[in-house]
Chain A
């Protein structure tokens, strides 16, 4: 098998140059999707029969929770690739994914609380879903801090890669917690095996918001990875040349 494409993709310089070309398009798509999804969801989707307008926070809560979980897989896989093939760019993806995932998890917890207060009657409960989500936040913080607690940044990369691989087991627990145990949190509205238990007028804006959050994630990761590349490669010829041109 020809592995040239793999090594080319793993080149920081190549990524820096190609991302510069796709960034404007990525920005336009991301902000258009966010704009359409938010306006549609908050302004035009019908209110829920029982919960009224409080249910509209679903348009932030579900997409941020989705990406908090998906982002963890991406971080752990990037860490594993870094460990096995010793690809530095892969480690940097992992390093940049940690704070982004942490912020999304925090957003999911806060929007969940804001939704829970008027509907359940409580901002926070220690049920299996909320607790396992809090553990996810601590895992993200752990991966972030562990990577920065070494004098040698390569050792930090390896240590946080191991932690992110170990933490992966929490993702299926979060996902299945509402089915395995009695929780206050309701089961999933959207799943892969059946149609969503939601009216289409409410579901389409949610779908757009989920796709928009994937793009937000991609944009945030690309931007912070570019900064990481410049800082780690600051002694190389191509970065020096780039800076002298500015």
Chain B
């Protein structure tokens, strides 16, 4: 390779390496702050600023969804498998919101350690199956199924 081209290659490689290092540092510093939501365990461990609006994500516990009054107010429980947190929400839930499915609630913690949510989002997974198959296969991942 021509010496001038070799030098230009080194400059390009250096710029690439430096920008990769910068991005690596930014990612390292961002760390868990770039998470979209807290888990119920993090909330109960007090890892949030009290009084601020936070997001909590987890699985909607089976049988926990209830409407105590005759209005749009819904109560349900989110769990991360270890601990769970009660959510109170008044509004329309997304279509995919269901028990045993993941959801993310945005709101403020009340004194009684419940999240008073102003928004509830449904989180769906990366698996796609036709309806007739779900009954028999019960959400088996196709990748698991193919390996065997």
Contacts and interface: CB of A to CB of B under 8 A. Distances in A.
Interface residues of B, number: 47
A121 B122 contact: yes
Contact of B36 (A58, A85, A128): A128
A125 B130 contact: no
A195 B147 contact: yes
29 contacts: A48-B130, A49-B130, A50-B124, A51-B124, A55-B128, A84-B5, A85-B5, A118-B95, A119-B94, A120-B121, A121-B93, A121-B94, A121-B119, A121-B121, A126-B36, A166-B19, A169-B23, A180-B27, A181-B32, A181-B35, A182-B35, A186-B124, A187-B126, A195-B142, A196-B143, A197-B127, A197-B128, A197-B142, A202-B130
B138 to A, nearest CB: 11
A187 B102 CA distance: 13
Contacts, number: 132
B19 A199 contact: no
A138 B65 CA distance: 42
Interface string B74-100: 000000000000000000011111000
B15 A162 contact: yes
Contact of B129 (A48, A183, A188): A48
A83 interface: yes
A103 interface: no
